[in-house]
Amino acid sequence: MAKVSIVGAGSWGTALSKVLADNKHDVTVWSILEDEINMLREKKEHLTKLPGVTLPDSITYTTDLKQACTGMDIIVMAVPSPYVRSTAKSMKDLIADGQRIVNVAKGIEDESYLTLTEIIQQEIPQSVPCVLSGPSHAEEVGRELTTTLVAGAEKKEDAELIQNLFMCDYLRVYTSSDVLGIELGGALKNVIALAAGISDGLGQGDNAKAAIITRGIAEISKLGIAMGGKQESFTGLTGIGDLIVTCSSMHSRNRRAGILIGQGKTMKEAMDEVQMVVEGVYSAKAARGLAVKYNISMPIVTSVNEILFEGKSPATALAELMMRDRKPEGGSVDWNPNT
């Protein structure tokens, strides 16, 4: 049995706390919100973020960050991406040397272009940041529906520890050394999912959705490989796998926000209606900035930024995407001169 704390009691943190407790680990869940902790403690259910999922009685709930950070085998960082840095700052002096911190949020910081494990390493240099990611809606994991994830770490033994902690009959966990690629796939797919939702909101169909997913993973892969990620991460669960589920499901807050924007709502109106952090909005500017930095053409990412931050109408952005210069699909093509 391992001692594990979950820092962040949103839908994903709550779902993972159930997995770990069902696996007979000693689980502590932390939230900064006293009302949220009282609800979880009394109701054994997150009534707003994960309704209908009953949590094991063995879970401990606390608002004391020191309690959540002391004496743990693993700390799971499950706060939304915009709050990873501020939460890590608060944790810094409470973290022991060599403490493994597993980031499960998805995002890239706007101004620094850092991934979330890079932020954790910067703010808590004595820690060992790892990542757990993949195509996974909390609503389905909470209901014990079949799900697959990837545990990423610099050291094999750390990835295998995470694998062993979380793996069960409905949650299969693979391992990888490509922490950067895993995080880039998870963050960038949220931007593409906004585009997929906008397309749906405009009344487009399955053909358009397939095009966005396919061309979206091409953009993600080109940038990710240029930054040092591995091709397998982008063609695997943390790339195309996560992109498919986020672009296709109504569980996806990014897709839902995109639908509302495609229907004519502003970014703020869409985020208010979804009532959860739409992480693709926070990653979109960073994705565009990285595309410029690495000289990678990312027309879908560019269009999403123009819609979100520059007032371009979704219909105009779609028309411009469709009428860009003609080109072959795979870059340079060697035609057979005899045909």
User: In whole angstroms, how far apart are CA 315 and each of 38, 199, 278, 304?
Assistant: 46, 9, 22, 12
Cα 156 from Cα 199, distance rounded (Å):
41
Catalytic residues: 189
Query: By three-state DSSP, how is residue 237 classified?
Result: helix
Q: What is the DSSP string of 47-88?
A: TTTBTT-PPPTT-EEES-HHHHHSS-SEEEE-S-GGGHHHHH
Sign of the torsion angle spanned by Cα atoms 223, 229, 230, 233: negative
The answer for residues whose C-beta is within 8 angstroms of residue 102's C-beta and 6 or more apart is: 74, 75, 76, 77, 129, 130, 131, 132, 151, 162
Burial status of residue 244 (CB atoms within 10 A of its CB: 0-12, 13-18, 19 or more) = middle
